[in-house]
Amino acid sequence: MSNMTEQELKKYLQTEFPQENEACEWKEYKSLKHSFSGTSGNDIISYVSALANMEGGSLVIGIEDNTHNIIGIQDFNNHTAQNIRLRILSKCPNLDSEHFTIEDIETSDSKKKVWIFHIPKHLARRPVSAHERYWQRVDDSLVELRKERLEAILKEPIFTNDDWSAQIVQNATLDDLEPKAIEKARKEYKEKNPRKAIECDTWDDITFLNKAKITLQGKITNTALLLLGKEEASHFLSPAVAKISWILKDENNVELDYEHFGIPFLLSSSEVFSRIRNLTYRYIKDNSLFPTEIKMYDAFVIREALHNCIAHQDYNLQGRITVVEKPDELLFSNLGEFIPKSIERVIEQDAPQEYYRNQFLADAMVNLNMIDTIGSGIKRMFLKQKERFFPMPDFDLSLPNKVAVNITGRIWDENYTKLLMNKTDLELKTVVLLDRVQKNLPIDDEEIKELKKFGLIEGRKPNLHVSSAVAKITNDKASYIRKRGIDDEYCKKIILDYLKEFKEGKKDDFEKTLLDKLPEILDISQKKNKIKNILQSMKNQGKIKVEGKFWKISK
């Protein structure tokens, strides 16, 4: 913590931070109680994001705008420069932790505290977010990141070589590879290529690695180190980060345990797999007295998701692969744009893409039996979930330079599950659409029309649900009625009966009477809005009137 007089501090600020601009922001913030938790883009975290997304800069708090009068932070709300730095790093994904610092200054005479946040420029191709949005400075204003600025960030060059995974690692030798990993690689290669099994046993290590397309003419590549490298050889990959983080969380998203795994990924991916608690799930099929027992997750689906993260990670972005385990779901994520652009395209095409980020790495992983034939693994994940009557994988492509996939380890909607059991001939595309309906996710108008044509769904967009025809197929009419709810006319009858009995009633009274009878597909806010609209409709029809807060039958 720096010490200087108030006059010295004022002179220091006037010299180093003379005016507000895109690289400098002053904030008074006498109290820090709400200064790190805003959501409207006016808190400290948003300013950190904005400065980082430009060229970096400084945020000075504890002084008055324009005058440089030192006010000092007076209510820290238990914050310190140390713990707030960690908090900001956790709230601002992609912020460069190595170069982000907080200068803690206390005047020796007046004992006033000032903090100066030194905010580094964003890392290449990695904009910094706050509150799940991106920010920037325009003159003296804080605004959401503009499209042209975001595009400029995402296009910044990192390495000139098209395929990072094929690059030769200077000074790395065969001694930097883990013998146990090479042994495992031979075993997997022979299983993938049984016709070459006998011949493979005659090859020395370098010949084998060349044949398996892991090395190039005997030279160690980034791929060789990622898959087979000794842990102590990871420095050769710097600044790329070769880590997989497994994180265990409870139903409230509270972290319970974690472990980080490094190279060789051929071995450590199996260690990650072993940490996942793949418990037994039980459900009862129709016309059966006994439960069906099945693992929460299919082994192929887990391995394909994890190995896809390894194969398609953009190692230039210097981040790690994460596997988050919750009570009944797994979330896999890796850095890098999803090159095919859409999952639907991958499923329908069911063939290799024209371009892969890490083509050399992907080819090697196919040869080592780590991923399915390039282009078909993702579709097979969907088919596996369909065969198990479980929800489809959810791919999140909404964030720039990040791909996440969520695997659910339980039945989501019994109607959906029973439908798959009774109509096993449904096309995968149809199943994927029905899966989105069961999860209340949007589908487009043409898709809605197609599903309605076959009587699979009903309702109005966005409140779609399983149709009565499907309810008959699944023998689950009760669930259908709960999802559909009672119609508006019946709601009006209940309101009139209430007013005849009690003479008057508030909107709250009608909500207590009707909320549990409205469609389950609606959330509480939508249900209350529906009741409000019904009351207004009855008023317009002259059936009821409102006096103050009370509704009564019109005479």
pLDDT tens, 428-464? Answer: 888 888 888 888 888 888 888 888 877 777 787 777 7
Res 186 pLDDT > 50 = yes
- Supply the pTM of this predicted model: 0.58
Residue 109 scores a pLDDT above 70: yes
What 3-state DSSP class applies to 393?
coil
pLDDT band at 264 (very low <50, low <70, confident <90, very high): very high
- Looking at 237, 252, 269, the residue that finishes a domain is 237
Give domain status of residue 159, yes or no.
Answer: no
Cα 247 versus chain centre, distance: 14
In this structure, the answer to whether residues 312 and 403 fall within a common structural domain is: yes
pLDDT mean over 524-531:
87
Our separate counts of H helices and E strands in the chain read 21, 20
Same domain, yes or no, for 170 and 214?
yes
Indicate if 304 and 397 belong to the same structural domain: yes
Q: Give the Cα separation of 342 and 336 in Å (integer).
A: 14
pLDDT score recorded for residue 151 = 85
Distance of CA 103 to the CA centre of its chain: 33
pLDDT winner (highest mean) among 3-7, 32-36, 412-416: 3-7
Question: Each residue of 118-172: pLDDT tens digit?
Answer: 998 887 778 998 888 899 988 777 889 998 888 888 876 554 456 899 999 999 9
Which of 188, 212, 237 is a domain's end point? 237
Question: What CATH number should be reported for the domain holding residue 131?
Answer: 3.30.950
Residue 478 confidence (pLDDT) = 54
* 446/225: higher pLDDT: 225
Is 521 inside any structural domain? Answer: yes
One domain for residues 211 and 312: no
Q: Which residues contact 319 (CB under 8 A, 6 or more apart)?
A: 126, 241, 313, 335
Q: Name the pLDDT band for 262 (thresholds 50, 70, 90).
A: very high
Q: Which of 84-93, 101-110, 306-315 has the lowest mean pLDDT?
A: 84-93
Written in H, E and C, the secondary structure of 268-317 is: HHHHHHHHCCCCEEEEECCCCCCEEEEECCCHHHHHHHHHHHHHHCCHHH
∠ CA 357-359-364, nearest 5°, is 135
Q: CB 456: neighbour CB atoms within 10 A?
A: 21
pLDDT of residue 482: 58
**Closest among 442, 394, 393, 391 to 419, alpha carbons compared:** 391
Q: Average the pLDDT over 221-232 and give the result.
A: 97
Same structural domain for residues 460 and 438?
Answer: yes
Whether 426 and 498 map to the same domain: the answer is: no
- Residues 225 and 145 both lie in one domain: no
Q: Say whether both 268 and 403 belong to one domain.
A: yes
Buried b (16+ CB within 10 A) or exposed e, 100-127: bebeebbbeeeebbbbbbebbbbbebbb
**Average pLDDT value for residue range 199-222:** 95
Q: Under a CB-based contact definition with an 8 Å cutoff, are residues 49 and 169 in contact?
A: no
The first and second tokens of residue 174, run together, are 């065969």
pLDDT in the model for residue 17: 78
The more confidently predicted of residues 262 and 8 is 262
Query: How far is residue 401's CA from residue 317's CA, in Å, rounded to a whole number?
Result: 9
pLDDT of residue 160: 42
| Mean per-residue pLDDT of the chain | 85
Least confident of 147-156, 202-211, 259-268, 281-290: 281-290
pLDDT for the residue numbered 175: 96
Tokens read off for 36: 């790190």
Residue 434 sits in the same domain as residue 547: no
CATH of the domain at 269: 3.30.565.60
223 contacts 214 by C-beta, under 8 angstroms: yes
Closest alpha carbon to 526 in 465, 459, 463, 442: 463
pLDDT at 23: 80
Query: Are residues 178 and 116 part of one domain?
Result: no
Which of 192, 218, 237 terminates a domain? The answer is 237
- In this predicted structure, what is the pLDDT of residue 216? 93
Return the pLDDT at 32. 82
Is the CA virtual torsion 383, 384, 387, 393 positive or negative? negative
Does residue 226 lie within any of the structural domains?
yes
Instruction: Give the model's pLDDT for residue 406.
Output: 96
- pLDDT greater than 60 at residue 468: no
Number of folded domains in the chain?
Answer: 5
Picking from 210-219, 301-310, 495-504, which range would have the lowest pLDDT averaged per residue?
495-504
Q: What is the pLDDT of residues 40-69, one digit of tens each?
A: 567 889 999 999 998 888 999 888 876 778
Q: Work out the percent of the chain whose per-residue pLDDT is above 70.
A: 88
Task: Say if residue 461 is in the same domain as residue 527.
Answer: no
CATH number, domain with residue 539: 1.10.10
Residue 231: give the domain boundaries: 164-237
Confidence of residue 286 (pLDDT cuts 50, 70, 90): low
User: Which residue has better confidence, 178 or 400?
Assistant: 178
pLDDT at 374 over 60: no
Q: Sign of the CA dihedral 131, 85, 122, 145?
A: positive
Q: Beta strand 321-326 with 244-249: parallel, antiparallel or unpaired?
A: parallel
Same domain, 13 and 145: yes
Q: Above 90 in pLDDT, residue 397?
A: no
Contact 156, 352 (CB under 8 A): no
Dist. CA 52–CA 49, nearest whole Å? 5
The answer on pLDDT for 10 being more than 90 is: no
